[in-house]
Amino acid sequence: MKLTILDLDMRSGVRTKGNEICHDSLTVLENSHKLRQVCGHSSNSIPITTTGGRVDILFKSYEFLPSRGFLLHYKFNGCQKLPPPRLGYMVYSNNRSALYMCCKGHVFNDTLSNSLLLQCVDGTYWNGTIMPCLPIQTALRQRSNYSEDYEDIYRLSNPDVVEVYLSKHKYIEEVLIPAASVVGLVFGNVAIILLIQKIRKKRKSNVTNHNGQTIPRHSMSASSSEVPQTLHVPVTVPIDSTIPQPIPVPHPVPVIRQAPRVLMTDL
């Protein structure tokens, strides 16, 4: 871990016999070992680097003093080493990854595997935790989906068999189940298409009349939409006697006019 004192403003120390005695002080300890002790005033950054373990920061002041105090910044350099699990051991650990394994005949409780690889994320924390190592029989009994297959593994008590079992179930989850889903979707689409075709054929057969002739769709829609109407024509028209009858007007006798006769002698 890297510590940086950005600002320091407290009571200055007193020098006696070449040594500086700080009444107000800031002390950084690592595993109860003093790394740095400062007091007084400082506007420059003071870096402090730790190698690992427990870090304690102690601040002492004997009396009240109106000052800024101190401003401290810390940052982890890499992930801290995690202790190995019980009935297990650490293979290696660095700033990027760490590998842990269980003893023979034991597996991690969460993964049923005898190995665990952790990755350091952003140089600050691990991407997982270390679960305890349990005997294979105990780990299998604690699984919620305990079945007869687990009993077979329980009798064998072989870590390699556990790995084979897990790989088989991983194949089922990642390959068989998605493939079955795709096949189901394909058959469902085919069934829908066949149903649509059947409905269309049924509609075409209803359009055909009893004589085997096809009635146009527009005429069917027009005839079905029209409402038949009946025209009532009276047989006899009643005559009202109060209305005077019209007087017939005599027509003049036509006069026939003849053209004058011309004799040949007059020519």
Residues 141 and 164 in one domain: yes
Q: What is the rounded CA–CA span in Å between residue 70 and residue 44?
A: 12
Residues 115 and 155 in one domain: yes
Question: Is residue 127, in this structure, part of any structural domain at all?
Answer: yes
Decide if 127 contacts 97 (C-beta within 8 A): no
Residues 43 and 116 in one domain: no
Side-chain-side CA neighbours of residue 127 (13 Å): 12
Query: Considering its fold, how many domains does the chain have in total?
Result: 2
Q: Residue 149 contacts by C-beta under 8 Å, 6 or more apart in sequence? A: 165
Closest CA to 3 of 101, 72, 58: 72
Question: Is residue 207, in this structure, part of any structural domain at all?
Answer: no
pLDDT at residue 237, rounded to an integer: 53
Sequential DSSP letters for 67-94: S-EEEEEEE-SSPPPPPPPTTEEEEEE-
> What's this model's pTM, rounded to 2 decimal places?
0.37
Question: Is residue 157, in this structure, part of any structural domain at all?
Answer: yes
Question: Is residue 22, in this structure, part of any structural domain at all?
Answer: yes
pLDDT at residue 210, rounded to an integer: 47
Q: What is the rounded CA–CA span in Å between residue 157 and residue 138?
A: 11
Residues 65 and 88 in one domain: no
Residues 164 and 84 in one domain: yes
Question: Is residue 242, in this structure, part of any structural domain at all?
Answer: no
Q: Provide the CA 210 distance to its chain's centre, in angstroms.
A: 58
Residues 111 and 169 in one domain: yes
Decide if 93 contacts 20 (C-beta within 8 A): no
Q: Residue 62 contacts by C-beta under 8 Å, 6 or more apart in sequence? A: 23, 24
Reading the block at residue 30, the tokens are: 């690592």
Q: What is the rounded CA–CA span in Å between residue 105 and residue 116?
A: 15
Decide if 137 contacts 150 (C-beta within 8 A): no
Residues 84 and 133 in one domain: yes
| φ, ψ dihedrals at 187, nearest 5° | -65, -35
**Mean pLDDT of each 10-residue bin along the chain, 267 residues long:** 86 76 86 86 85 83 80 81 90 89 91 90 86 88 59 49 58 76 88 90 71 50 50 55 63 61 52
Q: Kind of pairing, strands 25-30 and 41-42? A: unpaired
Structural domain of 23: 2-75
